Amino acid sequence: MENISESIKYVGVNDKTIDLFEGQYVVPNGMSYNSYILFDEKITVFDTVDKRKTDEWLSKVAAALGKKVPHYLIVSHMEPDHSASLTAFLKKYPDVTVVGNEKTFTIAERFFGDVIKNKLSVKDGEELPIGKHTLKFIFAPMVHWPEVMLSYETTEKVLFSADAFGKFGALDVNEDWTSEARRYYMNIVGKYGAPVQTVLKKASALDIKTICPLHGPVLNENLEYYLGKYDIWSSYAAEDSGVMIAYASIYGNTAEAAEKLADILRGKGVKVETADLTRDDMPQAVANAFRYDKLAVACSTYDGWLFPVMEHFLNRIKSKNYQNRKVALIENGSWAPVANKVMRSIFETMKNITFTEKSVTVNSAVNEQTISELTALADELSK
């Protein structure tokens, strides 16, 4: 990616060597750390990059600038994957003015000490003329840090959107935006649906032609699609009609029951996703739980409680404000099954969860009675 427009140049970098983003999310196709330069009377750089790519980024910035020097550095977000190269940038361009808000500079000092010589603290809605272009700042607290702010360029109608509308994956790989943006959103931003809704309302008043996020591709076509996805995700509505089945199995019997339910549902024309929580990617399972309007959980009783990966899964979706779904419960136990009771008690702490009338108990192994009960459960879930 080179030019966004005649005035805006992309100077971000791809990281193909990272294995875990934020120390927990598997990124088989790496990550992009996006940065942009807006050329005008006062040249403006938008954000730095992760320290893993400082040298490469500074080289790209220098090549783009040539003999020119930047006047402003906009700090949209202080998370280290975007701010860790700040001190190196200031050493190379010591006269630059760093633009942020009060919370930006508080967090910056905690990370780097007193290194910012020239500061410009802006307020929500404030505008900054830089020549033919003007930047309007839109505060987005808790999307997903308290200092986050977006910048809207009023002439070319470009929204520099911080982490909003980002996705996993480097820019030199071809992968589905929706799947990796959903996994990114639900696991990183998902808890903060209400603040995202607030920002979307602010954005609805803007004429946006291009979205420049800090991760993932620049978006300049079919923006209604991306805005629509964010509206669905942040309002905790179901994206698709179907059933997500998440299971935690010790010896395979609970897995057999879960997969049998999936087969029955597919035979009824229901869209189904399954996740073996002991083996499959947990963040993907979380994303799919939010994607569908129904969730079935199947768990072995373990130490009079839940098999640990199921407890982890339920706590993960709870922490992301899981709500507005129908839930089905399946348990297994050879002498004292209690998994359904425990899982139900956890779901009851979540908002607007309804349960199927039918629940299923597997006593050790799947048998004809189990299949009959799973069929009845599938009948209810397919309505």
- For the segment 33-55, the average pLDDT, to the nearest whole number, is 98
* Residue 209 pLDDT: 97
pLDDT at 346 over 80: yes
Peptide bond into 144 cis (omega under 30): yes
Tens of pLDDT along 196-249? 999 999 999 999 999 999 999 999 999 999 999 999 999 999 999 999 999 999
Secondary structure of residue 72 in the 3-state scheme: strand
**Counts of helices then strands in the chain (DSSP H, E):** 12, 22
The percent helix, strand, coil of the chain (3-state, each to 5) is: 35, 25, 40
Kindly state the percentage of the chain with pLDDT values over 70: 100
Which tokens sit at 281? 């990617």
> Which pLDDT tens digit goes with each residue over 45-94?
999 999 999 999 999 999 999 999 999 999 999 999 999 999 999 999 99
The two three-digit tokens of residue 200, written as one number: 């979307």
User: Given a cut of 90, is residue 127 above it in pLDDT?
Assistant: yes
Edge-to-edge order in the sheet of strand 119-121: 8-10, 36-38, 44-46, 72-74, 97-100, 119-121
Contact between 230 and 282 under an 8 Å Cβ cutoff? The reply is no
State what percent of residues in the chain have pLDDT above 90: 99
Residue type for position 156: E
When the pLDDT of each residue in the chain is averaged and rounded to a whole number, the result is 97
pLDDT score for 264: 98
**Full set of structural domains in the chain with CATH:** 8-234 (3.60.15.10), 240-381 (3.40.50.360)
Give the confidence band of 1 by pLDDT, cuts at 50, 70, 90. low
State which amino acid sits at residue 181. A
Quote the CA–CA distance of 84 and 164 in Å, as a whole number: 19
Mean pLDDT of all residues in 284-311? 97
Model pTM score? 0.94
Q: What confidence tens digit (pLDDT) does each residue in 145-180 have?
A: 999 999 999 999 999 999 999 999 999 998 999 999
Whether residue 2 is predicted with pLDDT greater than 80 in this model: the reply is: no
Cα–Cα dist 15/169, whole Å: 9
